[in-house]
Amino acid sequence: MAEFSTIARPYAKAAFMFAREQNVLDKWESMLGLAAALVEDAQLSSVLDDPKLSVADKAKVFVDVCGDQIDEGGANLIAQLAEHKRLAVLPEIFLQYHTLMAQQQNFADVEVVSAFELDDAETSKLVESLKKRFGMDVRVSSTIDAALIGGVIIRAGDTVIDGSVRGRLNKLAEQLNSRV
């Protein structure tokens, strides 16, 4: 959502700057990831949507659910978001924070979808190739989709590289259909 993106931006930047100054970037990423996941939890959402709860109570419930996985700074962020009725933007704050962190640490998150599991040698070769292409370190997550038939689809941000057999067959079908 564009609106969530706009609302989340200053919170993500502030959290990032604070975490960078305190040298706790990874800890804040973990806290924001947990908070983002909790916002999307149906049970917690129903509690947070209860109009009988005050803003302070909503923030307290949220922080209590997080337990010791959230520090004072994270609790303050949750309280601010609750006060302004913006807890729902936490997933977007997390995404923007992660993007800022990736830019600073010069890495890209890459999703590799393959028809079958890649062995360590194939994964290493792919990682090296992607490092050269993107000019930065890559963090690879892999999933399997048997419908690809063979090959891989690589997603890194807005970039999609479709090297799958299914993708090639689709392109061939498009070319054949356009000639008719």
- Residue 112 Cα distances to 52, 57, 94, 118, 168, angstroms: 46, 42, 22, 10, 17
Tens digits of per-residue pLDDT, 118-147?
Answer: 899 999 999 999 999 888 899 999 999 988
Number of independent structural domains in the chain: 2
- CATH number of the domain bearing residue 20: 1.10.520.20
Query: What is the token pair recorded at 134?
Result: 């993107």
Residue type, 130: L
Tens digits of per-residue pLDDT, 15-45?
Answer: 999 999 999 999 999 999 999 999 999 888 8
pTM above 0.95, yes or no: no
* Full domain range(s) for residue 154: 107-178
Residue count of the chain: 180
